[in-house]
Chains A and B, each alone.
Chain A
Amino acid sequence: MKTLQELQEIRDRMKSRVANRETADESDVRIVVGMATCGIAAGARPVLAAIGDEIESRKLTNVKVSQTGCIGICAYEPIVEVYVPNREKVTYVHMTPEKVGAVIARHIVNGSPVTEYTYSYAVANRGGNA
């Protein structure tokens, strides 16, 4: 026998799990992970999993995660692109599961991109870690 509260808990838990069965509409934030061979080999899969976990635990309903093929800058994989409506796309490179938390917290939730993880930052500081 489930109580009303237990049924509501199931609803809440399942809601986030079925959320990706709606295609993104224009007001949604889209996070796209490069999942071509190059991306996967560089470790895109744990990054994607970390993004999913982070969104689920923060109950972000307006964020849709999807995957894409090779973006063409394979040396910078794993790559994650973030599309916020009416803003320029931000491309994060050399992503790791550890970096995901910061991107979600600072960029998705608070609206300011994590500059030091972006492609343009990596290119400008090529001598460093690229």
Chain B
Amino acid sequence: MLERAHILVCGGTGCTSGNSKLIAEEFTRLLTENGLQNEVKLIMTGCFGLCAKGPIVVVYPEGAFYQHVKVENVAEIVSEHILKGRVVARLTNVEKDDDGANKSINETAFYKKQKRVVLRNCGIINPEDIDEYLAYDGYKAYEKAVTAMTQQEVIDCVKASGLRGRGGGGFSTGLKWQFARDSVADQKYVVCNADEGDPGAFMDRSLLEGDPHCVIEAMMIAGYAIGATKGYIYVRAEYPIAVERLNIAIAQARDYGILGDNAMGLGHAFDIELRLGAGAFVCGEETALLRSTEGKRGEPKQRPPFPAVKGLFEKPTLINNVETYGNITQIILNGPEWFAAMGTEKSKGTKVFALGGKIKNTGLVEIPMGTTLRTIIEEIGEGIPNGKRFKAAQTGGPSGGCIPAAYIDTKIDYDNLIALGSMMGSGGLIVMDEDNCMVDIAKFFLEFTVDESCGKCTPCRIGNKRLYEMLDKVTKGEATLEDLDKMEELCRYIKENSLCGLGQTAPNPVLSTLKYFRDEYVAHVRDRKCPAGVCKALISYKIIEDKCIGCGLCKRGCPVGAISGEIKKPHVIDPSKCIKCDACFAACKKNAISK
């Protein structure tokens, strides 16, 4: 029978860590207790995107969007909303329209400017049920490709759409498919790069968790187009939910005969296997990924030959990123013109960003290419918390750079970001405010790449290490102005001479902060000061006598007993004991502590 209500509980990683599994269990228990199990359906979905407000529960047909749901709230939602039909307004989104009524989900600031192509099914379907994927035109694109299009027509369609690789490089997807098709061999492979390693990026994870079948279907289409019968998805072992759902999806697709020797009875063989990555960032680089898939040490090798000519097991291999595949079925079904109508002249379609850092609505957003940074930060993200000022946004993770506040009206696309010295990357977007020290940010990212360098080539292995040491000197106030010039020179050397993308892009965070925030570097070097008050070696905590009311909050918060003073009299910090942990600064309500 038709259920009268559907309760969608977010099962993405963010909400799962907020106990959404327990919430779902509580719903099941209470629905059964009230005899509603046959008329109300409970579904665990993928990510809704608004992770900052999780755990999220959406109840249809009203589309009530419950936020920050706790297990204790479930009883009230069942008894009020499900039994009596009264939405528990207290727990839903607080945005009101002009009439004072709650806005529907799609009208809220977070969703209004988004355009969901890749994430269309995330938070709508149950990713563990192939039938729900089928309900949203699942596996129709493969059927169309194989029955109504030649292999070359499929590739021409992808080319005409203007789709570019979403893993960061931005190479034309259609051309890549063409190269793989033109290579002649007895066996070819289709590989999905799901080794998402950038700090703060979780686009691919959310798509695999929320809609695994759309990636499988796209790989089947790619297999048909280039003449491959075998696919591999290389996914991080640290994504247990994504791995589990992929395994379920592959098993269900095999069960329906969608994957197999005669896929969907259309005469082509295709099957997919998973390969789990062991957590090395360099394995996101395609040649290293293919090595690792073969069971060897994950180290990059020189290109050319490119994987399309000589890839996995020395055979022609098509390798695309998860989000790139996420676009394919819609391009086949709706046509390349539909896709090319979105975006800018050279960057078509949409891009998914993982919005993080100093922003109110952290989460997953999908926007048409060409949307300005301002729209993402001020409208979708609803701005910076605590009334702080926007300073810069970092895109492209450790391979990218920062975009300073002056360029907030830049239209986001591949070429504009490169022109600013950053890059699209896979889609991490970290927002920084006035409390972030840009030297410290550069150091953070470089420390990451130094850790993750595979060590095969000297410029990356030693160059980045030396660069890191120079940055460390800057943050300690021990560098000279000449060091800054030396750093720039070293950056350029590393970029030009490293073997793979990891080394070639590793200096980008340093170069772009040196370009836009050189004054901050100079302050560290010449004035021995960290303007944002982050670099510990350059700050000292002091209590401003006139402002201190002697409440004792700082004294109680200090973990090392460095603060002394009597109640209602100004307190004092002993600098020899102070470990600069910032606890007193955070505790003081009178802004009486300076650093």
Measured CB to CB, the closest approach of chain B to A72, in angstroms, equals: 14
A45 touches which one: B8, B39, B106, B257 (CB < 8 A)?
Answer: B39
* Contact pick for A56, options B2, B137, B266, CB 8 Å: B2
Q: Tell me if A21 and B134 are in contact (CB < 8 A).
A: no
- How many angstroms from the CA of A101 to the CA of B199 in the assembled complex? 57
A54 to chain B, nearest CB (A): 9
Residue of B nearest to A3 (CB): B265
Query: What is the total number of residues of chain A having a CB less than 8 Å from a CB of chain B?
Result: 37
Chain B residues lying within 8 Å of A3, measured Cβ to Cβ, are: 265
**CB of B258 within 8 Å of the partner chain:** yes
A111 at the B interface (CB under 8 A) = no
Interface extent on B, as a size class? 35 or more
A100 sits at the interface (CB 8 A): no
Quote the shortest CB–CB distance from A46 to chain B (angstroms): 10
Query: Which chain B residues lie closer than 8 Å to A35 at the CB level?
Result: 83-85
- The 8 A CB mask of A39-54 against B (1 = contact, 0 = none) is 0100001001100110
Q: When the two chains form the complex, which single residue of B3, B63, B132 contacts A52, counting CB atoms closer than 8 Å?
A: B3
Give B208-249 interface residues, CB cut-off 8 Å to A: none
Q: Are A7 and B62 in contact (CB under 8 A)?
A: no
Of the candidates A1, A15, A34, A68, which one forms a contact with B256 in the assembled complex, judged by CB atoms under 8 Å apart?
A: A1
- Which residues 106-136 in B have Cβ within 8 Å of A in the complex? 106, 124-125, 131-132, 134-136
Q: Which of A48-87 contact B (CB under 8 A)?
A: 48-49, 52-53, 55-56, 64-70
Would you call A40 and B4 a contact (CB within 8 A)? Answer: no
Q: Does A120 contact B (CB under 8 A)?
A: no
- Asked if A7 and B264 make an inter-chain contact with CB atoms under 8 angstroms apart, the answer reads yes
Q: Kindly identify which residue among B2, B5, B63 contacts A16, using a CB–CB cutoff of 8 Å.
A: B2
Task: Please state if B61 and A64 are interface contacts (CB–CB under 8 Å).
Answer: yes
Q: With A1-B265, A7-B256, A45-B39 as given contacts, are A20 and B1 in contact (CB-CB < 8 Å)? A: no
Question: A110 within 8 Å of B by Cβ?
Answer: no
Q: Classify the interface of chain A: helix, strand, loop or mixed.
A: helix
Contact A67 B4 (CB under 8 A): yes
B61 and A23 form a contact (CB under 8 A): yes
Q: Are B135 and A11 in contact (CB under 8 A)?
A: yes
Contacts between chains A and B (CB distance < 8 A), count:
106
How far apart sit A3 and B139, CA to CA, in the bound complex (Å)? Answer: 12
Name the residue on A nearest B35 (C-beta): A45
The yes or no answer to A125 lying at the interface (CB within 8 A) is no
Given A7-B264, A17-B135, residue A52 in contact with residue B84 (CB < 8 A): no
The yes or no answer to B104 lying at the interface (CB within 8 A) is yes
- Given the contacts A20-B60, A35-B84, A52-B1, A15 and B135 also touching, CB distance less than 8 Å: yes
Most buried by A among B140, B262, B266: B140
Kindly provide the distance from the CB of A8 to the nearest chain B CB, expressed in whole angstroms: 9
In Å, the complex CA distance between A70 and B84 comes to 8
In whole angstroms, what is the CA distance A23 to B104 when docked?
8
Q: Which residues of A contact B63 (CB under 8 A)?
A: 23
A34's closest neighbor in chain B, by CB?
Answer: B85
Complex Cα distance A70/B85, Å?
9
Q: Report 12 cross-chain contacts, Cβ distance below 8 Å, ordered by A residue.
A: A1-B265, A7-B264, A11-B135, A18-B125, A21-B6, A23-B62, A23-B105, A33-B85, A45-B39, A48-B4, A49-B1, A67-B5
Of all A-B residue pairs in the complex, the 4 with the closest CB atoms, nearest first, are: A1-B257, A14-B135, A52-B2, A67-B85
